[in-house]
Amino acid sequence: MPDTKKFFENLSGAGKCVAVLTSGGDAQGMNGAVRAVVRMGIYVGAKVYLIHEGYQGMVDGGDNIKEATWESVSSMLQVGGTFIGSARCAEFRTHDGRLRAAQNLVKRGITNLCVIGGDGSLTGANLFREEWSGLLEELVQSGKIDEAAAQAHSVLHIVGMVGSIDNDFCGTDMTIGTDSALHRIIEVVDAIMTTAQSHQRTFVLEVMGRHCGYLALVSALACGADWVFIPELPPEDGWEDLMCQKLSENRLRGSRLNIIIVAEGAIDRHGSPISSDSIKDNRADKKRLNIIIVAEGAIDSSNKAISTDYVKDLVVRCLGFDTRVTILGHVQRGGTPSAFDRILASRMGVEAVLALLEASPGTPACVVSLCGNQAVRLPLMECVQMTQEVQKAMDEKKFEEAVRLRGRSFENNLNTYKLLSHRKSDSELPHSPFTVAVLNVGAPAAGMNAAVRSAVRVGITEGHKMLAVNDGFEGFSKGQIKEIKWGDVGGWTGQGGSLLGTKRTLPLKKLDKIAEQIRIHNINALLVIGGFEAYLGLLELLAARVSHEEFCVPMVMVPATVSNNIPGSDLSIGADTALNAITDTCDRIKQSASGTKRRVFIIETMGGYCGYLASVGGLAAGADAAYIYEEPFDIRDLQANVEHLTAKMKTSIQRGLVLRNENSNDNYTTDFIYQLYSEEGKGVFDCRKNVLGHMQQGGAPSPFDRNFGTKIAAKAMQWISKRLREFYREGVGRVFANTEDSACLLGMRRRALLFQPVIQLKDETDFEHRIPKEQWWLKLRPLMKILAKYKTSYDVSDSGQLEHVVRLRAKDTDNSTI
Annotation-wise, does 238 bind a ligand?
no
Antiparallel, parallel or unpaired: β 65-67 and 227-229: unpaired
Annotation-wise, does 687 bind a ligand?
no
**Cα-Cα end-to-end distance for the chain:** 30
Concatenate the DSSP letters of all residues of 260-324 into one string. EEEETTEEEESSS----TTPPP-TT----EEEEEEEBT-EETEEEEE-HHHHHHHHHHHH---EE
Label residue 377 left, alpha or beta by phi (over 0 means left) and psi (-120 to 50 means alpha): beta
Annotation-wise, does 561 bind a ligand?
yes
Name 474's bridge partners. Answer: none
The answer for residues whose C-beta is within 8 angstroms of residue 168's C-beta and 6 or more apart is 118, 119, 175, 209, 211, 212, 214, 387, 390
Give residue 675's identity as a one-letter amino acid code: Q
Annotation-wise, does 109 bind a ligand?
no
Task: Please count the other Cβ atoms lying within 10 Å of the Cβ belonging to residue 485.
Answer: 14
What residue ranges in 635-790 does DSSP mark as E strands?
655-661, 686-691, 728-729, 734-735, 743-749, 752-757, 765-766, 771-772
Coil, strand or helix: which one is 371?
Answer: strand
Concatenate the DSSP letters of all residues of 350-367 into one string. HHHHHHHHH--TTPPPEE
Distance CA 347, CA 803 (A): 18
The answer for residues whose C-beta is within 8 angstroms of residue 424's C-beta and 6 or more apart is 461
Annotation-wise, does 121 bind a ligand?
yes
Phi–psi pair at 666, nearest 5 degrees: -70, -30
Do 318 and 244 form a contact (C-beta atoms < 8 A)?
yes
Rg (the chain; Cα; Å): 28
Task: Please count the other Cβ atoms lying within 10 Å of the Cβ belonging to residue 810.
Answer: 9
Annotation-wise, does 251 bind a ligand?
no
Annotation-wise, does 272 bind a ligand?
no
Annotation-wise, does 116 bind a ligand?
no
Annotation-wise, does 662 bind a ligand?
yes
Distance CA 767, CA 687 (A): 36
Annotation-wise, does 118 bind a ligand?
yes
Annotation-wise, does 775 bind a ligand?
no
Annotation-wise, does 180 bind a ligand?
no
Annotation-wise, does 591 bind a ligand?
no
Task: Please count the other Cβ atoms lying within 10 Å of the Cβ belonging to residue 688.
Answer: 15
Annotation-wise, does 166 bind a ligand?
yes
Annotation-wise, does 696 bind a ligand?
yes
Helix (H) or strand (E) holding 95: helix 95-107
Distance CA 438, CA 450 (A): 13
Phi–psi pair at 588, nearest 5 degrees: -70, -40
Annotation-wise, does 164 bind a ligand?
yes
Annotation-wise, does 695 bind a ligand?
yes
The answer for residues whose C-beta is within 8 angstroms of residue 332's C-beta and 6 or more apart is 165, 181, 184, 185, 207, 208, 215
The answer for residues whose C-beta is within 8 angstroms of residue 712's C-beta and 6 or more apart is 451, 558, 573, 746, 748, 753
Annotation-wise, does 85 bind a ligand?
no
Distance CA 34, CA 55 (A): 15
Distance CA 223, CA 215 (A): 12
Annotation-wise, does 404 bind a ligand?
no
Annotation-wise, does 333 bind a ligand?
yes
Do 748 and 569 form a contact (C-beta atoms < 8 A)?
yes
The answer for residues whose C-beta is within 8 angstroms of residue 134's C-beta and 6 or more apart is none
Annotation-wise, does 694 bind a ligand?
yes
Concatenate the DSSP letters of all residues of 124-145 into one string. HHHHHHHHHHHHHHHHHHTTSS
Antiparallel, parallel or unpaired: β 157-162 and 655-661: unpaired
Antiparallel, parallel or unpaired: β 655-661 and 302-306: unpaired
Helix (H) or strand (E) holding 811: helix 805-811
Annotation-wise, does 608 bind a ligand?
yes
Is residue 349 classed exposed, middle or buried when 0-12, 13-18 and 19+ CB atoms within 10 A define those classes? buried
Annotation-wise, does 748 bind a ligand?
no
Annotation-wise, does 563 bind a ligand?
yes
Do 332 and 299 form a contact (C-beta atoms < 8 A)?
no
Annotation-wise, does 606 bind a ligand?
yes
CA 612 from centre of chain: 16
166, 168, 226, 570: the active-site residue: 166
Residue 226 falls in the annotated catalytic set: no
Annotation-wise, does 383 bind a ligand?
no
Annotation-wise, does 599 bind a ligand?
yes
Annotation-wise, does 317 bind a ligand?
no
Annotation-wise, does 607 bind a ligand?
yes
Annotation-wise, does 596 bind a ligand?
no
Q: What is the dihedral of CA 606, 611, 615, 617, to 10 degrees?
A: -20
Annotation-wise, does 35 bind a ligand?
no
What are the binding residues for substrate? 164-166, 201, 208-210, 264, 324, 330-333
- Residues at the annotated binding site? 25, 88-89, 118-121, 164-166, 201, 208-210, 264, 324, 330-333, 504, 561-565, 599, 606-608, 662, 688, 694-697, 770
Please state the residue numbers annotated as binding site for beta-D-fructose 2,6-bisphosphate: 504, 561-565, 599, 606-608, 662, 688, 694-697, 770
Residues of the binding site for ATP: 25, 88-89, 118-121
Binding positions for Mg(2+): 119
Active site residues: 166
